[in-house]
Chains A and B, each alone.
Chain A
Amino acid sequence: MTRRRLWVQLACIAITLFMGLPLYLITLAALSSRESLNQFPLSLLPTSLNGETMSTFLQSTGIVGGLINSLTIGLSTVLLSLLVGLPAGYAIARFAFRGRDPYQVGLLLTRALPIVVLSVPLGRIFLDTGLYDTTYGVTLLHTALALPTTILITSAIFLGVSREQEEAAMIFGASPFAAFARIVVPQALPGIAASAMFTFVLSWNEVLGASILTLNRRTLPAQVLATLADSPLAFRFAGGLALVVPALIFIAVARRYLLNMWGTTLR
């Protein structure tokens, strides 16, 4: 039995190395000077760490702008998808209305639609409506991608909030809206925050649609992708690290909710 434990332990360490080592290496590469990146063989130990490569990357054309666009689009996507998705999630959790099942199936079906099928025609539609190359256009696309998940996750969250307390508040004279705001929202808030982070990461990571729908107002990944072929390796490594860091933070914060969000609700 102890021998088996040992094998389990070793297997876990092996997988952790496979998953973790590349993260260490990209950090190392992005924090090495261009000079030390030109040496061969590269050192696997952090012997000459400095911020030169990272700061050159941040000073390149379009990077700070891309960062700002990414943040703007990410936050607007979170707001818009909650604005449209929360009421719908609440309706699914609280009302047994006709057409609820087809509506939910419809939400799940949208998942089978590849982003590319929406992005290219949306490019034409946005050109006609003046939304092309704006942060609004990309926000609309990202909200459409995030909305089904937001609705399904928030409905699962609202199902977990007791109906009785909400009704008790209304018996004591609270309006339905006040009952919602003062009883339901505080209890649902941690879950809603996790769902908001999920949406933000989706928007932060999405590159194809953002590339197709913009020209000058690129998001950070779209900017990195567009300049990929002509940029030196140091720039690409720095870009890689800049794209990975939010993922590390997100997973650290949202770890508790991962199983519910990706595991159960996505059934």
Chain B
Amino acid sequence: MPARVRRRGRPSAALLLILPSIVFMAALFVWPLVSGIAQAFSGPDGPTTAYVRRMADDPYFWDATRNTALLIVVLIPLQFALAVVMALLMRERPRLAGLHFYIWVVPLAISDLAAGLVWLSIFTDRGYLNSVLDQLGLGTYSWLSFEHPGTMFLAVVIAELWRATSLVFVIVVAGLQGVPRDYDEAAEVFGATYWQRVRHVILPQLRPSLQVALILRTILALEAFAVAQALTGRNFPLLVGETYQWYYTLQNPNVATAIALVVLTLSIVAAVGYLRLMRRHPEAR
């Protein structure tokens, strides 16, 4: 009898413990989500697509969409390559590993606004990069001018690479800790080169970590905006930056919500897309 009472008592204790969090998440995730969809599609006179049309008519919106997509396509592969190299270097146990590790993970806790301001000191017209170029006698260049969209984009990519590679690095390092060294050593005994071992032994075992990092990073990259804001103002618009513009400067929360829903849709598409892609090719290396 006591055993049954105990078993029946336990789930309710657990429920009691998680109930506050469920209520909280419902109030702050589900409610805003539902109310956001309502806000984007209903005007003063019932359902409307006016806000969505207004969003689509704004040339900044399409620039922002293109820039956001471009940023993800260029940034993510670079970031993953760098993070994997960094993790493999750490695996070699270099001298001063602790110091290197500390410097490599510091950007984890730096916001994208701060990263933008840090790189502004380097890329701005009278900044550190031009100072060095000038002292070397190479002449200066307006990296962040709207006349040079190429270098403007480059600056945003470098700032994001600097800030957000640490997250991928930490996930990969944690994943590497779970990879037994035996396989790697066995492959070495059988004469595999370092590159062959990385490609056929280490990377396949990192797949789960890389998959998590890929989904997380793509969603976070979709949300980047302050880094571009700090470096270029509105000259390099990004989707979330446009929500901020519509909400803050143009005082139109409905259009802002419509753009936010576009970001949400892209996040879901990216997450589902990665999951399906990786499931379909389980043997892909």
CB within 8 Å of B: which residues of A? 5, 8-9, 11-12, 15-16, 18-20, 22-23, 25-26, 29, 38, 40-44, 83-85, 87-88, 90-92, 94-95, 97-98, 100, 103, 106-107, 110-125, 140-141, 143-144, 147-148, 151, 201, 204-208, 211-212, 221, 224-225, 228-229, 233, 236-237, 239-240, 243-244, 246-248, 250-252, 255, 258-260, 262-264, 266-267
Q: Which of B26-34, B59-67, B197-205 is the interface stretch?
A: B26-34
* Contact among A92, A117, A260 with B36 in the assembled complex (CB-CB below 8 Å): A117
Which partner residue on chain B sits nearest A259 by CB separation?
Answer: B174
**Smallest Cβ distance from A121 to chain B, in angstroms?**
4
- B54 interface residue, CB < 8 Å from A? no
Given contacts A111-B219, A125-B31, contact A237 B121 (CB under 8 A): yes
Q: Chain B: interface secondary structure?
A: helix
CB B113 to nearest CB in A, in angstroms, measures: 5
Can you identify 16 A-B contacts, CB atoms within 8 angstroms?
Answer: A8-B92, A19-B166, A84-B20, A85-B21, A91-B18, A97-B14, A116-B259, A116-B263, A120-B257, A125-B32, A143-B24, A144-B25, A208-B223, A225-B229, A237-B121, A258-B108
Chain B interface size, as a band, is 35 or more
CB distance from B76 to the nearest CB of A (A): 16
Q: Indicate if B79 sits at the interface (CB-CB under 8 A).
A: no
CB-CB contacts below 8 Å: B209-266 with A: 209, 212, 215-216, 219, 222-223, 225-226, 229-230, 233, 240, 243-244, 247-248, 253, 256-257, 259-261, 263-264
CB closest chain-A residue, reference B92: A8
Q: Mark B18-62, 1 if CB is under 8 A from A, else 0.
A: 101110110011011101100100000000000000000000000
Contact with A along B100-142 (1 / 0, CB 8 A): 1111111111111110011111101011101110110000000
List the A side residues contacting B124 at CB < 8 Å: 233
User: B11 an interface residue at 8 Å Cβ cutoff?
Assistant: yes
When the two chains form their complex, are residues B100 and A25 in contact, meaning their CB atoms are under 8 A apart? no
- Convert B250-285 into 0s and 1s, putting 1 for each residue whose CB lies closer than 8 angstroms to a CB of A: 000100110111011001100100000000000000
Of all chain A residues, which has the CB nearest B18? Answer: A88
Contact B226 A207 (CB under 8 A): yes
Residue of A nearest to B98 (CB): A255
In the complex, B4 has a CB within 8 A of chain A:
no
How far, in whole Å, are A90 and B17 apart by their CA atoms in the complex? 8
Residues of A within 8 A of B105 (CB): 251, 255, 258
Query: Complex formed: what's the CA distance from A240 to B124 in Å?
Result: 14
Excluding A20-B103, A114-B267, A204-B111, 7 further A-B contacts by CB distance (< 8 Å) are A22-B162, A44-B131, A88-B17, A106-B25, A151-B21, A225-B113, A247-B110
A5–B94 CA distance with the chains assembled, in angstroms: 8
Residues of B within 8 A of A20 (CB): 103
